[in-house]
Amino acid sequence: DKVGVNGQTFDAVIPAVAPYHIAALLPEDTPEAFRQALDTYRYHAITTVYLRYREEINLPAAMTGLAVGTAQWLLDRGRLGLGKHEIAAVIS
């Protein structure tokens, strides 16, 4: 099935909402078993930790994704016009 949004047609949708909002966005014909499975999900808030170093930080990109470790994203705050000695680590 295709998904229509504001007059545009898409192959799929990735809802970027808090898990407790997803049920309200599902189509009416969503199987009850799927809706019940959503009730079993547990979640934690996204956390951002700000780190400051003596030396200037220069990550490979302004936003760098990590495949392994506690944090999933590192943001080079210097490249974003903020502190050149700081990064933000996003844990989700």
Find the mean pLDDT for residues 80-92: 93
Average pLDDT of the segment spanning 66-85:
93
Q: Using 50, 70 and 90 to split pLDDT, how confident is the model at 87?
A: very high
Q: Are the beta carbons of 49 and 87 closer than 8 angstroms?
A: no
Q: Give the distance from CA 16 to its chain's centroid.
A: 7
CA torsion, points 77, 78, 79, 82, in degrees to nearest 10? 70
For residue 11, the cross-strand partners are: none
Give the integer Cα–Cα distance in Å for 85 and 78: 7
Band of residue 85 on the pLDDT scale cut at 50, 70, 90: very high
DSSP designation for 57: P
Query: How does pLDDT run across 15-74, given as a tens digit for each residue?
Result: 888 878 888 888 888 899 998 988 888 888 889 999 999 999 999 999 999 999 999 999
